[in-house]
Amino acid sequence: MSASALRLTVCVGESDTAGASHGRPLYSEIVHRAHRAGLAGASVFRGIEGFGASSRVHTARLLSLSEELPVAVVIVDAEERVRGFLPVLDELLDGRGLVTLDATEVHRG
């Protein structure tokens, strides 16, 4: 069985925090808010290397012990549910990070 869905990907820095959550990592706050909103699921992926708006490359290589690695939060659900979560995300991000939306298909075997 297959169904169309929307994939939301949020790219932030590992050390970014959510101000209203007393220093909780931003990626964690996004996951908890998505859970409270009843979204189908959320996963967090830690990058090993990347750069963003600062144009500084952050890496996990042994000689460069970066604490600012890229983190991606991925959420997949029905389009209207994902779009309904965007105002919550806008409040949390407060101009930080990158948000992408992609049409996708969910296949359940």
- How far apart (Å, rounded) are the C-alpha atoms in residues 77 and 70? 23
Residues 92/18, Cβ–Cβ less than 8 Å: yes
Q: For the residues 36-47, what does the mean pLDDT come to?
A: 96
Residue positions counted in the chain: 109
pLDDT digits (tens, 9 = 90+) for 43-96: 999 988 877 766 667 666 655 555 678 899 999 999 999 999 999 999 999 888
Alpha-helical runs (H) found in 1-109: 26-36, 79-93
